[in-house]
Every structure is written in structure tokens, then in C-alpha cells.
Amino acid sequence: MMKLMFLSISLNLTGLKKMSMSLMVLLLVYLGMHYLDTFEIFSFFSLDSVGWSFMALTAWIFLILSLMSSSKSFLFILAFLQFILFNAFSVSSFISFYIWFEASLVPTFALILGWGYQPERLMATFYLIFYTVFASLPLLVILNSLSKTGQNYFHSGMEPTSLFSTSFLIMIPLMLAFLVKLPLYFSHLWLIKAHVEAPVAGSMILASILLKLGGYGLIRSFYFISVSSSFFLNSMLSWALIGGTFASFLCYRKSDMKMMIALSSVAHMAIVAGGIFSSSVWGINGAVMIMLGHGFSSSGLFCIANMSYLRGGSRSFKILKGLKNILPSLTLWWFLLLVVNMAGPPTLNLLGEISAIISLSSLSLVMWLPISLMVWMAAAYSLALYLKSQHGKMAKKSAALPGETNEHLLNLLHWFPVNILILKSSIFIPWIF
């Protein structure tokens, strides 16, 4: 398995596109053959179905990115970031995870600063570093204390009476770094700034992979969440669901295509956080499936939004509208990817949201109000994005432009996995923690 991972990194670095495509198919087949209730440990590394799923997602997205560029320096940074993420998803201790968790900032900083669009990209990288580093500093202190008590490993024996799992003042800094990385509403400003200034590859990586580090960290901290006080869990659930509702309404009002897609990620991650903080197997399973599905759909939306930007020269709906007149072949891909974004059938997102919603609604009937609003608004802003970009009178006359073969291939590689993974029956098997 590890040989397969390092092979994908080397293919990204060398830019061997035909071999990369073959490996993509191999990774998808191997993911389908993997039983989700297995768990394996290799010395300082641990690999269960959750970690393997995110590693497969990382390999898939990065191989797609390798098809989009032939720049050696860009491919080198991608390979370096992929190596960091593989280690983050496979280490077995909290301290090691923290190191790789923070190390991902270095190549991300280089991507935004080196290939960003606007002069404001320096400020965007400042927001990225300020939010993530300063929010994670308290976590480093907590993890250092955990290592001294012998609770440094994800699956080591832990005492339910541990101070780190019962104190509200300890749980807040323990979770804050992951909640900012996820991110939840009120801690998402860095994400909007980074997405707006980042190149298309940077936006795809941020939305599809880097946000999953926060969710993955919360899942690895599942023990502390499951034995936490009801006050802490209720506070986190309220933050996630109310913040997700606000993000959904704000997303509908945005006039910038890229900013709308970025804010939709905040709304989706709110359901992920809610599923994890529900402290149930259904909630955890739903959160993982939503993150996997969102990894493909958000990356695909940023990719196709860049295709539209290259033709129209703007991300504003006031200028970039009526795209079906000049991009008729890409209109279908817009519709298919937005169906995935709104968790329409038969996507993995739908299965994940059903599982997470069942988990949340079993806690209290009050949960139905924010959940219903988020589900309804997800369909509303997805349809609004489609109508505002594809329909209407064009701001300026342009000749009809067909989509290129490579563009159709990139869209297919984003849409196909999220619709085929739902056919894997073992995805219903609960993960063992």
C-alpha cells in the first residue's frame, strides 16, 4: 500500500500522465475492495479505513492536478504537499499528526504566494497562517501534556476520568485548531481570503484535502468528544448548526462565483462537525462520507469555475452569465457537479447527509430547524449558482466555444468517483474506534 502511495507521488513529480490515469483507476478499484471495518498498525504509522479513504482521496485529487499543469516547480510543490498529507493521514500519535498538520502550511503558502491571482495574495497567506498557527498553539501544549500521561497515541488505552476529556477549559483549546481548519463559521475568514487569491489548483487542494485535516483531527479525538460533558457537546452542536445556517444564507447572496463555492464548503463542514459532535457511529460515518463526497464535488466546482473564468475573464455573475451560449458543452457538467454539491441522488454526499441527519435528529427535535434550513439552502444556492452563471443575457457578445477534451476529462474524474462509491455495500459497516 505504501509503495502505491509513493508511486503516485513520483508520477505527479515526473508528470507521466498516462501512467497517472492508470493509477487513478487502480486507486478507485482498491478503495472499493477495501473493507471499512479493518484496522492495521505499522510501528509509528496506523492505517484504518478512515485514514486510507482520505489518502486515496488525496492521491486522486493530486493526480488530477498533475494533468492540469506541466510546470516542474509546480509539480514539485504538489508532490511535497502530497507527501506531507500522506503522513498526516497515516501517523498513529497526536504529536506526529500535529507536526504534519502544521507542515502542510508551507507548500500551501508557496502555492498561494507563487501562483496567486491578485496583489492581495500576501494578505491572504497572512490570514491563513495567523488563523491556523495561533489557533493550534494551545493544542501543542495539550498534546505535550497528553504525551506525558501516556495518551499520545490515537488508539492507546485512556481513562474516562482523564482531565483532558472532562474539563470544558481543556476541550476548547484541544478542538480549536481542528475547528478553525475545518472551518466552522466565525473562524472561516482565512478560507474565503485564501480561496479568492489562490490559483485554481490551490483552491482545489484547500477545499478537497486541507479542510479534511480538521475533520480528520476531530475524528481522531473522538474519544475525548464521546466522554465530554453535555454542556460542551451542546455548545459545539449549536455553534456548528447555527453557523452553518448563517453560512448557507450568506452563500446565496454572494455575487462572486468563487466566493460562493468557498462559502458552500463552510456550510457543508457544519454538518460534518455536527455529525462528529453527536458522538454516535451514524454521525461519524456520515461525517466521513460527506467529507469524501465534498472533496470531489468542491474540487470539481472550482475546476469548472476556472474554465468559465478563462472564457469570461471575470468571476462576477453580473458579467459572467449566459454561459450556455458560449460554453454549451460545459453546461451539463455544471448541472451534474451542482447536483453532487446539493447532495442529490445517487451521490455519496446524499448517503452521508442522511446518516448525519439521522444522528443529529435523534438527539433532539430542535435540531430539525437548522438542519432543514441548511438542506433547503444547499439546493437553493446550488440552483442559484447554476441559473446565474448559465442563464440570462450575456454582458458582452462572445463566440460559442466548445469545451476541450481535457476539460471534459477533468470534470468526469471529479463526478465519476462520488457517484460510483455509493455502490460499495461495505460503506454501511460502522467503523471501529
For the stretch 175-221, pLDDT in tens is 888 888 888 888 887 888 787 777 888 888 888 888 888 899 888 88
pLDDT at 29 over 50: no
Looking at 104-167, list the stretches that DSSP marks H as alpha helix, in order from N- to C-terminal side.
Answer: 105-115, 121-148, 163-166
pLDDT at 38 over 50: no
Give the pLDDT mean for 361-371: 87
pLDDT at 421 over 80: no
CA–CA gap between residue 207 and residue 321 (Å, rounded): 24
pLDDT at 164 over 60: no
pLDDT at 48 over 50: yes
Residue 429 backbone dihedrals phi, psi, to 5 degrees: -75, 125
CA–CA gap between residue 421 and residue 417 (Å, rounded): 6
Q: Where residue 44 falls among pLDDT bands split at 50, 70, 90? A: low
| pLDDT computed for residue 8 by the predictor | 55
| pLDDT computed for residue 73 by the predictor | 85
Give the pLDDT mean for 315-338: 84
Q: Where residue 79 falls among pLDDT bands split at 50, 70, 90? A: confident
Best-predicted range by mean pLDDT (39-48, 144-153, 298-307): 298-307
Pairwise pLDDT comparison (61 vs 397), residue with the higher score: 61
Q: Where residue 431 falls among pLDDT bands split at 50, 70, 90? A: very low
Q: Where residue 351 falls among pLDDT bands split at 50, 70, 90? A: confident
Pairwise pLDDT comparison (342 vs 158), residue with the higher score: 342
For residue 32, what are the contacts with CB-CB under 8 A and spacing of at least 6?
420, 421, 423, 424
Q: DSSP code of 94?
A: H
CA–CA gap between residue 243 and residue 271 (Å, rounded): 10
Percent of the chain with pLDDT over 70: 77
CA–CA gap between residue 144 and residue 129 (Å, rounded): 22
Q: DSSP code of 46?
A: E
Across the chain, mean pLDDT equals 78
For residue 293, what are the contacts with CB-CB under 8 A and spacing of at least 6?
340, 343, 347, 348, 349, 352, 418, 421
CA–CA gap between residue 304 and residue 68 (Å, rounded): 12
Q: Where residue 39 falls among pLDDT bands split at 50, 70, 90? A: very low
pLDDT at 249 over 50: yes
CA–CA gap between residue 221 and residue 118 (Å, rounded): 38
Give tens-digit pLDDT for 49-63. Answer: 788 888 888 988 988
* C-alpha atoms less than 13 angstroms from C-alpha of 147 in its C-beta half-sphere: 13
Strands (E), 235-383: none
Cis amide linkage into residue 417, ω under 30° from 0: no
Can you tell me whether residue 304 is helix, strand or coil?
A: helix
Burial bucket for residue 42 (CB in 10 Å: 0-12, 13-18, 19+): exposed
pLDDT at 280 over 80: yes
| pLDDT computed for residue 378 by the predictor | 92
Q: Where residue 341 falls among pLDDT bands split at 50, 70, 90? A: very high
Residue 93 backbone dihedrals phi, psi, to 5 degrees: -125, 155
Q: Where residue 14 falls among pLDDT bands split at 50, 70, 90? A: low
